[in-house]
Structure 1
Amino acid sequence: MRRARNMRPNIVSEAGLPTRMSQWWESIPFLTSAVVVVCGIIYLVCLLVGYDSFNEVCFLPSAVVSRFQVYRIYTSILFHGSLLHVVFNMMALVPLGSELERIMGSVRLLYVIILVATSNAIFHVLIALLVAHNPLLTYDYLMNECAIGFSGVLFSMIVIETSLSGVQSRSVFGLFNVPAKWYAFFLLVVFQLLMQNVSLLGHLCGILSGFAYTYGLFNFLIPGTSFYSSIESSSWLSSCVRRPKFIVCTGGNPSGYIPTQTSQNSTTSGLLSGNIWRNLSSFMPQREVSAQSTEDIRFPGRGRTLGAVQGQTASHLHSDSNLQARLLEDSSPNSPLDSSTPSNTQQLSEGRHSVDDVATAAAGVPQNQGAVVSEERIKKLVSMGFDRTQVEVALAAADGDLNVAVEILMSQQG
């Protein structure tokens, strides 16, 4: 029997690609996907209506300075000159923006994008003015350079994400690894060599803005978590907040998104707090790690740490350390105590009371409570066959720890 030539197509393979694309798109957070949609729609509208007058929306330093067209700061990052331009920028934005948005939250990342876009423009204008009006060599080209595209913000995000990740090296297109602090500069050189009509100054200003953010120069411009919470709780944003892809600012440790921030709700200027000069000691700042609790849930109870707890009671225990050693030595089987001697009995009694007082004081419990606990432990060890006098001395030396006291007693008998 012949097999029919026009076989039914594989339904699983046909539904596989749309399903995977849908899953991939759903995994992108709210703000990152919104930027991709806005940039894509703007390019398609310009393509359909035949709009190509990018001189009206690009970032032009001469127009910003002479005609104060500040709107160019933000329109320039949303428009793109070609299909390859917008596709390449959005493909780079998806992993970068998704990572930063999961760390910062959707509203906070939007604020950071606006902040670095503004600082990029300021750096761009200042450098262009400096080059155009310096007394040594006048060069007006940068004042009339028309920059457009989201790549300036992308370079800022690259620097911020690299700083927050804490990695030591990064791979450049899988060809070779470079130190993380030079990664953005290597990308800048590679793009300048491989592509034409690429704004060197626009990308360089993006790198400068990223480092300014990580070094804390913008800390005085960054509001506290209450600012973001009030925006998220507003009625006009409620429909966006309810979306599954929206990431709410939880108000966690700011060191997760600001490497130089030291307090959770601090809005103090980095210029006044001294963070800038401390961070300048290293070229690439690292994310601060919050101090972990000294108590481990795996080992509950009061632990003794060298240089910490012992350091607080060292002055109290030092005076009785020789007495404890002498009492242990006197109570060993090789040199038994003569209980009939009044001086030895009085010395041992005074030594026990002194050591018990110090042990209970170091443990932070009242003396009466410590005596009751010690009496119960003494009875336990006496019931095991040890001498009561040796048990009392061993418990005092072990700070009330039964296990340590048993080891002391066993070593004495051994």
Structure 2
Amino acid sequence: MRPNIVSEAGLSTRANQWWESIPFFTSAVVIVCGTIYLICLLFGYDSFYEICFLPSAVISRFQVYRFYTSIVFHGSLLHVLFNMLALVPLGSELERIMGSVRMFYITILLATSNAILHLLIALLVAHIPFYRLQNVMDECAIGFSGVIFSLIVIETSLSGAQSRSVFGLFNIPAKWYPLILLVLFQVLMTNVSLLGHLCGILSGFAYTYGFFNLLMPGTSFYSAIESSSLLSTCIRQPKFILCTGGNPSGYIPTYSGQNTSSSGLFSGNIWSNLSSWMPQRETSSQVLNQLILEGFSQC
């Protein structure tokens, strides 16, 4: 009995230390997404057409709220589990660099740009004269992985790595890393939104190449928010990270020219990294409503 008690105490302590090591905003996203999934599960909610990113609904009814509701809902336990396990190391690293408030702002910016790009590409594809794909306008996408793909691009650029290992099996040039992941997920998994992930990658590249510079406030903006009385309780939390880094423009610079390699988020031993293997942005189609319900199975 004694060894078991010690072992259980050790496991509980390690789990608590792991959770306390996750910065404020990243842990908040995990809590929000996990709580929403549990509420959906308990109340039997399995219809996502009112909250998913649905291009036709955004256009016809101007339901812009879908830009943000779609990223916090997930279609199954594995869906939310894999997305959050992928987010924790990635989001923690970037939040420690950027600060909690800046990380929140950039996440909103990326979610917005992902949705706008998704909408524009869907409209373009649906109206190509010689080969129209109208079903892309009725694709119902949910999940946080579009933002995760954006963060992968940003983290890869910030790392300065020239190559990255994919699942510990082979190395590829770092600039191709997000695109290789995109292809692998499309091949290995079903019910995955190609446009959702692709637009996440495009937004990540737009950020790293400075296209969002005009939308990035200076550090004084974040400092003013941090000094607000509304955030006083949050700032006192040990997990909260102040925005003390970066340059006055508020843009986090990227690095290049370093002849280094990096294991990245989805590399190393394939078994030890399986838990963070699959960020997913699930999709469905209004035309196949019955198949949608079967595919999601649970909220």
The equivalent position to 1:56 in structure 2, one of 50, 53, 67, is: 50
Matches within 5 A, 1:238-249: 238-249=232-243
1:114 and 2:84 equivalent? no
2:146 aligns to what? 152
TM-score by length of 1: 0.60
Distance in 1 between residues matched to 2:49 and 2:94, nearest whole Å: 32
Aligned partner letter, 1:217: F
Contact 2:216 2:250 in 1 (8 A): no
Distance in 2 between residues matched to 1:257 and 1:245, nearest whole Å: 22
Q: Deviations over 1:168-224 (max 9, x none)?
A: 111111111111100001111111111100000100000000000000101000111
Q: Give the SS at the match of 1:56.
A: coil
1:286 and 2:263 equivalent? no
1:232 aligns to what? 226
TM-score by length of 2: 0.83
Aligned partner letter, 1:238: S
Distance in 1 between residues matched to 2:45 and 2:155, nearest whole Å: 35
Q: Deviations over 1:232-265 (max 9, x none)?
A: 00011110011000000015436996337xxxxx
Distance in 2 between residues matched to 1:255 and 1:84, nearest whole Å: 39
Q: Deviations over 1:26-73 (max 9, x none)?
A: 111000001000000000000001011111110000000110000000
Distance change (3 Å), C-alpha of 1:48 and 1:233: same
Please identify the structure whose Cα radius of gyration is greater. 1
Contact 2:217 2:249 in 1 (8 A): no
Contact 1:164 1:287 in 2 (8 A): no
Distance in 2 between residues matched to 1:114 and 1:137, nearest whole Å: 34
Distance in 2 between residues matched to 1:257 and 1:98, nearest whole Å: 18
2:273 aligns to what? none
Aligned partner letter, 1:73: F
1:83 and 2:77 equivalent? yes
Higher RCO by CA contacts (8 Å cutoff, separation 6 or greater): 2
2:171 aligns to what? 177
Matches within 5 A, 1:185-196: 185-196=179-190
The equivalent position to 1:133 in structure 2, one of 112, 127, 132, is: 127
The equivalent position to 2:68 in structure 1, one of 68, 74, 78, is: 74
Distance in 1 between residues matched to 2:2 and 2:170, nearest whole Å: 47
The equivalent position to 1:163 in structure 2, one of 149, 157, 164, is: 157
Distance change (3 Å), C-alpha of 1:179 and 1:237: same
Contact 1:103 1:257 in 2 (8 A): no
Distance change (3 Å), C-alpha of 1:286 and 1:259: farther
Q: Percent identity, aligned pairs only?
A: 79
- Deviation larger for 69-78 or 126-135: 126-135
Distance in 2 between residues matched to 1:226 and 1:287, nearest whole Å: 30
Distance in 2 between residues matched to 1:255 and 1:181, nearest whole Å: 25
Q: Give the SS at the match of 1:171.
A: strand
**Is there any run of 5+ residues in structure 2 with no aligned partner, and where?**
259-299
TM-fit CA distance, 1:9: 4.8
The equivalent position to 1:46 in structure 2, one of 40, 63, 76, is: 40
**Is there any run of 5+ residues in structure 1 with no aligned partner, and where?**
1-6, 261-284, 289-414
2:274 aligns to what? none
TM-fit CA distance, 1:150: 0.2
Distance change (3 Å), C-alpha of 1:158 and 1:255: farther
Q: Give the SS at the match of 2:49.
A: helix
1:142 aligns to what? 136
Q: Give the SS at the match of 1:97.
A: helix
| CA RMSD across the alignment | 1.7
Distance change (3 Å), C-alpha of 1:153 and 1:287: farther
Distance in 2 between residues matched to 1:152 and 1:252, nearest whole Å: 25
Contact 2:22 2:92 in 1 (8 A): yes
Distance in 2 between residues matched to 1:125 and 1:109, nearest whole Å: 24
Distance in 2 between residues matched to 1:191 and 1:205, nearest whole Å: 14
Distance in 2 between residues matched to 1:246 and 1:88, nearest whole Å: 24
The equivalent position to 1:100 in structure 2, one of 94, 99, 105, is: 94
TM-fit CA distance, 1:90: 0.2
Contact 1:29 1:102 in 2 (8 A): yes
TM-fit CA distance, 1:12: 1.5
Distance in 1 between residues matched to 2:16 and 2:238, nearest whole Å: 14
TM-fit CA distance, 1:16: 1.2
